[in-house]
Amino acid sequence: NSGPCKWPHGGNGKVSRVIRIGTRKSQLARIQTDSVAEKLKKLYPDVLLEIVAMSTTGDKILDTALSKIGEKSLFTKELENALERNEVDLVVHSLKDLPTVLPLGFTIGAVLERECPFDAVVLHLKNTGKCLDTLPEKSIIGTSSLRRAAQLKKRFPHLEFKDIRGNLNTRLKKLDEKEDFSAIILAAAGLTRMGWENRISQVLNPDDCMYAVGQGALAVEVRVRDKDILEMVSVLHHPDTVLRCIAERAFLRHLEGGCSVPVAVHTEVKDSQLYLTGAVYSLDGSDSLKETMQTSILPGNQVEEGVDEGAQRVGVTASNVPRASQDAAEKLGVDLAQLLLSKGAKEILTVARQLNDAR
């Protein structure tokens, strides 16, 4: 029941609310949404959950490189429209698809525990047993990510890189059924969620390829004004992941990067310290800047009561994570971006953007 009455009565006289969850139609999006729905179902057995699937522009335009079309909001716009029109109450995204500045009225109400954030190599079956190092000279690697291509060109100069588009299923099909690609690069988390770990022949470590901001984490987007829904999903927050992703998003936002520029990160929480490594690259990876900074995220012993109205940090609302820790994480991202900008990051990114636009 998703009519105007939001609080239908169950047969036993208990009020049970219908919560509608919006998702993209792709198989991975459905799997990710179902996993969040299951967690909510366990926590709130009385809530009725309804999943609403829709196609997005990003799913429809399959023949153009991602970095050439309307950017980050590609996969999120239609879902946000549905959220705005009250057709759904929450939307599940891959956090790396969400821009660092969200449209007014929306916020990320939950960042779930991050899965492996690294990129993975999936080989054409004829190359079984090889890795990027041992692939023959001029082998063609498929990736539509400027970030991946920039880092890997530099690290593996004997390989060539070509755009490959489509959702996970489409890309694997293109790899397996044609001879165009020797291997493709995909996020390990997506492959794992699809149950395709057996196709991962190599997980790239940070020395080979640092990951995208927010990669491997799922995010739940809600309306800012829906305090009850915000509170309901906030229990899904994973504090370390929240702090790592706030730092990463603050870094990217301060650099003004999107998916049309090669920006990469690596974060770690160890002994109450948050470590952030961030880098920017020219398109061919020949020019790059990379630095690491750290901050203490040891909170005071009090979690502040009540939702602080202006509590969004780079789009994330996490009232159950200590504010002081969130502030420290955000400052870390901004400080690291400042450091790279002071060393010439702006010039590298501007050239990368212009070259990419001209492609």
Q: Which residues are catalytic?
A: 97
Q: How far apart are CA 359 and CA 349, in angstroms?
A: 15
According to DSSP, the β-strands at 106-111 and 218-223 are: antiparallel
- Using alpha carbons, select from 1, 5, 55 the residue that is nearest to residue 30: 55
The set of residues, in sequence order, having a beta carbon less than 8 Å from that of 323 and lying 6+ positions away, is 304, 308, 311
Q: How far apart are CA 15 and CA 248, in angstroms?
A: 41
The set of residues, in sequence order, having a beta carbon less than 8 Å from that of 163 and lying 6+ positions away, is 65, 142, 143, 144
Q: How far apart are CA 153 and CA 100, in angstroms?
A: 27
Positive or negative, the CA dihedral 207, 158, 281, 143 is negative
Helices (H), the chain: 27-43, 57-60, 77-84, 146-155, 168-177, 188-193, 227-234, 239-255, 323-342, 345-358
Is the separation of the CB atoms in 266 and 277 below 8 Å?
yes
- Using alpha carbons, select from 216, 223, 239 the residue that is nearest to residue 320: 239
- Using alpha carbons, select from 284, 270, 286, 257 the residue that is nearest to residue 350: 257
Instruction: Count H helices and E strands in the chain, helices first.
Output: 10, 13
